[in-house]
Amino acid sequence: MKIFFKSDSYHTAEDAPRALMDKLVLNTRLYFIGNFINIILKSQRMALKGQYDAEAWASSSYDIFKLTEECGGRFHITGLENLQKCQGPVVFISNHMSTLETMIFPCLIAPQMKVTYIVKDSLVKHPFFGPIVRSRDPIVVSRSNSREDLQIVMNKGQVLLAEGTSIIVFPQSTRKVDFSPKDLNSLGVKLATKANVQVLPIAIKTDFWKNGKYLRDLGPIDRSKPIHIAFGEPISIDGTGKEEHKQVVDFIGSHIDKWKDNG
């Protein structure tokens, strides 16, 4: 599979050109959303035909990455070398801010290792995204019964990790622009502890793509907001995981504080 990012970090050039059509729609979201929908529809058709494998997933993710840059998005990605330090499959733990990180993570991670998500059942049933999500064999939770969800995550999570598939966890209950440590539950660390694998924290700031008022996944874009993604070093769990969970929270919180101060 093609590796799209071969350096330890990636920064969009400040003078990177915007697409002409994006300029012509007068800084609205029309060009961005229209092309995003086209990418998703192409991926959906492949998924329905059983042709949407990990390579296709990473490729369509990279298409969205380049589209974002064409529309004025400026990425600052660090810590990519830490993906090479993982001792087998890991549990990725990230804060959750917008649709963007969900779409971008595959082109960053999937070329390096097999990976999937923990997702809500509504996403699996979604007429637009559903076929794509189902093709990735995710762990599906309801968010209506926390005890049952925990059992599902622990059971299927251990199976996937034992088979060599890493898992991306968004432990916050919903997407949030502001980060509060208490909102980041310890689900990811619990799964890693049970499966005896490492966790790898990811801090993101993706409010370039805001959540929509009526269509949450298709909100407006704000070209003044830089996009930050930072991968931490993999962390081995020792004991109950309480200290390791604190390390994850501190990693995410410290990066978000820095990005708030420096843009």
Q: Return d(Cα 174, Cα 203) in angstroms, integer.
A: 16
Q: Return d(Cα 258, Cα 253) in angstroms, integer.
A: 9
Q: What is the DSSP letter of 114?
A: -
CB 208 within 8 A of CB 99: no
pLDDT of residue 196: 97
Tokens found for residue 250: 């501190």
CB 11 within 8 A of CB 84: no
Tokens found for residue 84: 């090479």
In-domain check, residue 54: no
Amino acid, single-letter form, for residue 153: V
pLDDT of residue 256: 94
CA proximity to 27, closest of 91, 73, 60, 62: 73
Residues 6+ apart with CB under 8 A from 102: 117
In-domain check, residue 26: no
Q: What is the CATH number of the domain that holds 102?
A: 3.40.1130.10
Backbone angles phi, psi at 68, to 5 degrees: -60, -45
pLDDT of residue 263: 61
In-domain check, residue 168: yes
Amino acid, single-letter form, for residue 113: M
Q: Return d(Cα 51, Cα 174) in angstroms, integer.
A: 31
In-domain check, residue 251: yes
In-domain check, residue 99: yes
CA proximity to 230, closest of 189, 193, 258, 208: 258
In-domain check, residue 230: yes
Q: Return d(Cα 159, Cα 138) in angstroms, integer.
A: 12
Kindly give the parts of the chain with pLDDT less than 70: 214, 263
- pTM attached to this predicted model: 0.95
pLDDT of residue 211: 80
Name the residue with tokens 């660390």: 189
Tokens found for residue 170: 């968004």
How many domains is the chain built from?
1
In-domain check, residue 18: no
In-domain check, residue 227: yes
pLDDT of residue 214: 60
Buried-state track 215-246, b at ≥16 Cβ within 10 A, e below 16 = eebbbebeeebbbbbbbbebbebeeebeebbe
pLDDT tens-digit readout, 8-47 = 999 999 999 999 999 999 999 999 999 999 999 999 999 9
Range of the domain at 225: 74-262
Tokens found for residue 234: 């993999």
